[in-house]
């Protein structure tokens, strides 16, 4: 009973401090919260919480503020994540459902997440190496030229022009398209590349001399040209460390109270590798991770918290999204927004 009462006092201190930005006194707690105990009991509970390191007194005669340890206990003991309102859910779905491609999905996600949380939002582009091949299309542009279209589970689409070296009939093209999709569809990138390479026959003496078959059937040279192009598109890792950032202007509202963290965070917005490390590894199953203050990987972000989760189709964590902000944040609301946006983005990629 005593532990639950002190947790209720801590929860009230966190909520008031987040809302008012002012140290919280016992009188304010008694007046604003129905704790069901006397002011003297509240003062005793606050003294115990301070002795245990969950709250601290920034100045003599001032109220108390939560410590990182206090925020951690508050987050760990949340019975439920604050639900999104119907209007908020509708706003997310309406905004994200209008996206036309992967880039648009990422950019819209970072905007809606920063608007919902009033923090800096960070969204990692889906990692290519974790994705699977959804489909390969081969589109004839000319008798001896194709457009190879690689569609991945992340929603990413890669297009490459393939010069074949000879004319290809419609039947040859249909056969090649079917073989490529049998080898690659449903495979993760690394396995798909291996399966495609296995399609290419060993060159014969006639092929080496440039005397391959010219009777309308496919030959190793055509297959090799298509396979080489697709594999090149698969191993292009340029997007693996791409991120989108939004809401940097939200930092201005913290002013001097967040000065120790604003400068390094603004600098970090230019360093994508730093932001990716702040986000941490993507988690699966809709789990939201919260790293508070010194729990993070960088000492200069000791006044910063990160709320993040993984996203991807069919519960695969292909990348991470989240927010970066002060330790004094609305954790329940922020966790709900991060989880909701991740679920909507995952659904869009799944349906794509």
Domain with CATH 3.30.390.10 in the chain: 130-237
Residue 298 in tokens: 């960088």
What's residue 217's pLDDT? 45
From-to residues of CATH 3.30.450.40 in the chain:
86-125+242-351
Average pLDDT over the chain, rounded to an integer: 83
C-alpha of 83 from chain center: 20
The domain made up of 130-237 has a fold known as Enolase-like; domain 1 (3.30.390)
**Could you report the per-residue pLDDT of 167-205, keeping only the tens digit for each?**
888 898 999 999 999 999 988 888 999 999 998 877 655
Say yes or no to pLDDT of 208 above 50: no
Structure confidence by residue, pLDDT tens digits, 71-121: 999 999 886 667 788 888 888 888 888 887 788 888 999 999 999 999 999
Q: Which of 137, 140, 173 is nearest to 152 (CA)?
A: 137
DSSP secondary structure, 146-176, as one string = EEEEEEETTS-EEEEEEE-SS---HHHHHHH
pTM of the complete model beyond 0.85: no
Q: pLDDT value at position 139?
A: 92
Which class would CATH give 86-125+242-351?
Answer: alpha beta
**Residues 247, 273: contact at Cβ < 8 Å?**
no
Find the helix packing angle between 68-76 and 2-20, rounded to 10°. 110
pLDDT in tens, 237-291: 555 568 889 888 887 776 655 556 667 777 777 777 788 888 887 666 668 899 9
What gap in Å lies between CA 146 and CA 162, rounded to an integer?
5
CATH 1.10.10.10 fits domain 2-76: yes
Which string of b and e fits 6-35 if b means at least 16 CB within 10 Å? Answer: bbbbbbbbbbbbbeeeebbbbebbbeebeb
What is residue 319's predicted lDDT score, i.e. its pLDDT? 85
Would you state the pLDDT for residue 209?
40
Q: Which residues pair with 133 in a beta bridge?
A: 152
Q: In whole angstroms, how far apart are CA 337 and each of 131, 229, 288?
A: 25, 40, 10
């Amino acid at each position: 009973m005593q532990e639950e009462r002190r947790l209720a006092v801590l929860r009230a201190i966190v909520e008031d401090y987040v809302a008012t930005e002012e140290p919280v006194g016992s009188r304010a707690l008694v007046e604003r919260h129905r704790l069901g105990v006397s002011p003297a009991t509240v003062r005793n509970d606050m003294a115990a919480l301070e002795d245990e390191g969950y709250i601290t007194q920034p100045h003599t005669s001032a109220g108390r503020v939560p410590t990182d340890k206090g925020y951690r206990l508050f987050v760990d003991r949340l019975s439920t994540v604050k639900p999104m309102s119907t209007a908020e859910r509708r706003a997310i779905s309406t905004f994200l459902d209008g996206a036309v491609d992967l880039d648009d999905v990422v950019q819209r996600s970072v905007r809606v997440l920063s608007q919902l949380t009033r923090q800096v939002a960070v969204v990692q582009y889906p990692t290519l190496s974790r994705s699977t091949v959804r489909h390969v299309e081969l589109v004839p542009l000319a008798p001896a030229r194709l457009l190879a279209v690689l569609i991945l589970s992340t929603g990413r689409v890669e297009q490459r022009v393939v010069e074949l070296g000879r004319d290809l009939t419609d039947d040859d093209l249909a056969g090649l398209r079917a073989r490529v999709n049998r080898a690659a569809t449903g495979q993760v990138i690394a396995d798909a590349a291996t399966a495609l390479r296995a399609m290419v026959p060993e060159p014969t003496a006639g092929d080496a001399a440039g005397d391959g078959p010219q009777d309308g059937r496919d030959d190793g040279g055509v297959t090799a040209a298509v396979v080489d192009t697709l594999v090149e598109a698969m191993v292009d890792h340029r997007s693996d460390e791409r991120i989108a950032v939004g809401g940097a202007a939200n930092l201005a509202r913290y002013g001097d109270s967040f000065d120790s963290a604003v400068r390094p965070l603004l600098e970090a917005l230019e360093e994508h590798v730093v932001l990716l490390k702040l986000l941490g590894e993507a988690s699966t199953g809709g789990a939201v991770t919260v790293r508070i203050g010194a729990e993070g990987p960088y000492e200069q972000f000791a006044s910063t918290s990160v709320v993040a989760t993984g996203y991807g189709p069919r519960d695969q964590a292909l990348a991470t999204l989240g927010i970066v902000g002060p330790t004094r944040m609305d954790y329940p609301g922020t966790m709900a927004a991060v989880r909701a946006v991740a679920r909507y983005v995952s659904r869009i990629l799944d349906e794509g």
